[in-house]
């Protein structure tokens, strides 16, 4: 299956260190070589990079690795194609607008069946089960709430919709509207919250370490979410099957 990575922080932060390890899983340390993408929220905008090439061979990935784009919400995906051909249209993350905000979505899993869409506002461009699922989620939210609801109501709705969609197959996903980042686990998702006192981190997929104490302030807080842990000297938390965690300002809420 695919690989997911997300970041949610209380201050704009770059993801260069984590991305350096993560992108190695796109054809070097793992076999996910059917495209990749990453999206960065910046204010009300979203900077999106996608490529059908493997992340280890993509010039765009090299740009992202060396360009310290700072963001409070980031979603990245490395694809192992199971449904839909290898193409730009089928490359995650997928981007849509709802309630005057951009929404970003990436999925890891295989949906055996798909719920029907009304064929009105939210339609897939490609032919993946993942983009179809994203359109369905937004369609259901739009039908329930003509205007954006409060955070607690929205989180409850997302939990209910994720549980319903999970009946169709394996549903690991990351979702963000730039204010928070939601992670839903079916099989494998892990997270870590980095906060003071910061220490050193060492990548699993590349022999690189960084001392976060030298790069942060005592008030910084960063949550990193990934299909599998990205470092081998930090304590990652494994999410439970069916669990939805919403990260706000670098910390998990439920």
Measured distance CA(137)–CA(252) in Å, rounded: 22
Measured distance CA(14)–CA(220) in Å, rounded: 12
- Element housing 130 (H / E): helix 129-144
Closest-CA residue to 251 (of 185, 190, 181, 201): 181
Q: How far is CA 191 from CA 5, 78, 140, 185, 252, in A?
A: 9, 17, 28, 11, 9
CA triplet 14, 20, 21: central angle to 5 degrees?
Answer: 120
Decide if 2 is catalytic.
Answer: yes
Of 2, 46, 135, 185, catalytic? 2
The 3 state secondary structure assigned to 143-184 is HHCCCCCCHHHHHHHHHHHHHHHHCCECCEEEEECCCCEEEE
Closest-CA residue to 158 (of 178, 191, 139, 182): 182
Sheet of 221-226: strands edge to edge?
A: 45-51, 36-42, 70-78, 3-14, 221-226, 190-195, 237-238
Instruction: In the chain, count H helices and then E strands.
Output: 4, 15
Active site residues: 2
């Amino acid at each position: 299956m695919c690989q997911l990575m997300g970041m949610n922080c209380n201050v704009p932060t770059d993801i260069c260190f984590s991305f350096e390890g993560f992108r190695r899983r796109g054809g070097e340390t793992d076999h996910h070589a059917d495209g990749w993408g990453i999206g960065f929220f910046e204010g009300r905008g979203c900077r999106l990079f996608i490529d059908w090439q493997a992340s280890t061979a993509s010039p765009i990935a090299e740009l992202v690795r060396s360009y310290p784009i700072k963001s409070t919400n980031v979603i990245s995906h490395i694809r192992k194609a199971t449904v839909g051909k290898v193409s730009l249209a089928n490359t995650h993350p997928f981007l849509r607008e709802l309630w005057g905000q951009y929404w970003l979505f990436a999925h890891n899993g295989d949906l055996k069946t798909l719920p029907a869409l009304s064929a009105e506002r939210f339609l897939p461009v490609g032919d993946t089960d993942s983009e179809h699922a994203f359109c369905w989620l937004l369609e259901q939210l739009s039908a329930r709430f003509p205007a954006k609801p409060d955070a607690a109501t929205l989180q409850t709705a997302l939990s209910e919709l994720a549980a319903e969609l999970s009946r169709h197959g394996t549903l690991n996903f990351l979702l963000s509207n730039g204010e928070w980042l939601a992670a839903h686990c079916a099989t494998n998702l892990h997270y870590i919250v980095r906060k003071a006192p910061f220490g050193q981190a060492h990548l699993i997929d590349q022999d690189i370490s960084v001392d976060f104490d030298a790069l942060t302030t005592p008030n910084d807080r960063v949550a990193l979410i990934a299909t599998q842990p990205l470092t081998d000297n930090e304590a990652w938390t494994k999410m439970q099957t069916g669990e939805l965690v919403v990260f706000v300002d670098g910390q998990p809420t439920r």
